[in-house]
């Protein structure tokens, strides 16, 4: 995944915690609870430490260590949630579309795409304008709008945030384009390109798609289509209705504040991926929740 100032390390930390469990059977309420709790833990660390790496120290070696993952995995209560971590977002942000912009065009400005060739060269990109038309500034005569993601800096110096606004600083950025490799350190081959748009939900939903492939054995399209969840900074956990009712009820019994979304909901992202089969072929995956497509030529 992309390094800081991207928040991609949250994806790695979550996967590292999940790797401490011998089994994570698909369709199990215990597995779903552990997935959610691992996301909560890593999201909490991201909020505590992530910022401009030239301005703040991000203890990546510790956060991504096996010892730390084992400690955090052991602390997960299988019967009760720890609760989602509070976000540090600046509450004074302006949350309305710019004048003259229809509300339906004021969000959804993040896209993800990937491309690969027959020689194994792969590019995995997540990009965003932030809000409608970004900052409404175009770079020269290129037609390219500059984003307005500086709105996600914290502005209250009393918060002690590593993501405090300042001149020339890069903010903690939620994009996390990911690639999965297999083989030894000396002979690694790419196995999959996989990620999604979706604001800070990117860091929740990318993990789930990777779990679906790595642990469950789904192909790229199946991994993208499988039901997903994400949490919000109001403490709610949104789960798609395709999770069986008994699993949703089990989450509620463990203290999760569950909100049930429709069967297919774009709030859990719009995954795009490419899988390398090992037989000289590639599979493309595109999420029916949004408007992406998979093309080969």
pLDDT in tens, 125-168: 999 988 778 888 999 999 999 998 888 888 888 888 899 999 99
| Per-residue pLDDT, 243 | 99
Element (H, E) at 260: strand 258-261
Cis peptide, bond prior to residue 5, ω within 30 of zero: yes
In this structure, are residues 275 and 219 in contact, taking their beta carbons and an 8 Å threshold?
A: yes
Query: Mean pLDDT throughout 199-208?
Result: 95
Structural domains in the chain (count): 1
**127 in a domain, yes or no?**
yes
Find, among 4, 2, 130, the residue nearest to 55 by Cα.
4
**86 in a domain, yes or no?**
yes
| Per-residue pLDDT, 19 | 98
What CATH number does the domain containing 87 carry?
3.60.20.40
**Distance separating alpha carbons of residues 52 and 5, to the nearest angstrom:** 5
User: The domain containing residue 168 runs over which residues?
Assistant: 9-286
**65 in a domain, yes or no?**
yes
Close Cβ partners of 189 (under 8 Å, ≥ 6 residues apart): 120, 181, 182, 183, 276
Distance of CA 8 to the CA centre of its chain: 8
Q: Would you say residue 194 has pLDDT above 60?
A: yes
**Distance separating alpha carbons of residues 161 and 141, to the nearest angstrom:** 37
Compute the 3-state secondary structure of the chain and give helix, strand, coil in percent, each to the nearest 5: 30, 20, 55
List phi, psi (to 5°) of 177: -60, 135
Confidence of residue 276 (pLDDT cuts 50, 70, 90): very high
**3 in a domain, yes or no?**
no
| Per-residue pLDDT, 193 | 98
**67 in a domain, yes or no?**
yes
Cβ burial of 216 (10 Å; 0-12, 13-18, 19+) is: middle
Exposure string over 54-84, b if 16+ CB within 10 A, otherwise e: eebebeeeebeeeebbeebbeebeeeebeeb
Residues 65-102: pLDDT tens digits?
999 999 999 999 999 999 888 766 545 444 555 556 56
**49 in a domain, yes or no?**
yes
**Distance separating alpha carbons of residues 276 and 282, to the nearest angstrom:** 5
Rounded to 10 degrees, the C-alpha dihedral 126/130/132/133 comes to: -70
Q: Is the entire prediction scored with pTM above 0.85?
A: yes
Helices (H), the chain: 9-18, 29-49, 60-63, 66-74, 202-214, 220-225, 245-253
**Distance separating alpha carbons of residues 260 and 295, to the nearest angstrom:** 32
**296 in a domain, yes or no?**
no
**280 in a domain, yes or no?**
yes
């Amino acid at each position: 995944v992309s390094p800081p100032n991207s928040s991609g390390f949250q994806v790695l930390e979550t996967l590292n915690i999940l790797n401490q469990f011998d089994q994570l059977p698909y369709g199990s309420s215990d597995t779903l609870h552990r997935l959610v709790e691992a996301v909560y833990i890593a999201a909490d660390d991201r909020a505590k430490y992530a910022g401009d790496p030239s301005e703040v120290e991000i203890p990546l070696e510790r956060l991504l260590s096996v010892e730390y993952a084992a400690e955090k995995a052991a602390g997960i209560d299988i019967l009760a949630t720890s609760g989602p971590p509070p976000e540090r977002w600046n509450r004074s942000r302006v949350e309305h579309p710019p004048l003259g912009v229809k509300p339906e065009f004021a969000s959804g400005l993040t896209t993800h795409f990937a491309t690969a060739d027959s020689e194994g060269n792969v590019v995995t990109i997540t990009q965003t304008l932030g809000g409608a038309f970004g900052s409404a500034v175009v770079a020269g005569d290129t037609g390219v709008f500059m984003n307005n993601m500086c709105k996600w800096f914290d502005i209250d110096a009393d918060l002690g945030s590593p993501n405090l606004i300042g001149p020339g600083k890069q903010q903690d950025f939620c994009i996390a384009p990911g690639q999965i490799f297999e083989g030894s350190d000396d002979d690694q081959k790419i196995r999959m390109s996989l990620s999604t748009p979706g604001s800070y939900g990117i860091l929740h939903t990318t993990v789930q798609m990777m779990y679906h492939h790595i642990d469950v054995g789904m192909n790229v399209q199946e991994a993208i289509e499988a039901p997903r969840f994400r949490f919000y900074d109001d403490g709610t956990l949104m789960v798609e209705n395709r999770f069986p009712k008994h699993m949703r009820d089990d989450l509620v019994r463990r203290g999760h504040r569950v909100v049930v979304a429709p069967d297919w909901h774009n709030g859990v992202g719009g995954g795009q991926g490419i899988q390398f089969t090992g037989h000289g072929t590639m599979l493309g995956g595109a999420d029916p929740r949004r408007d992406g497509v998979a093309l080969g030529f």
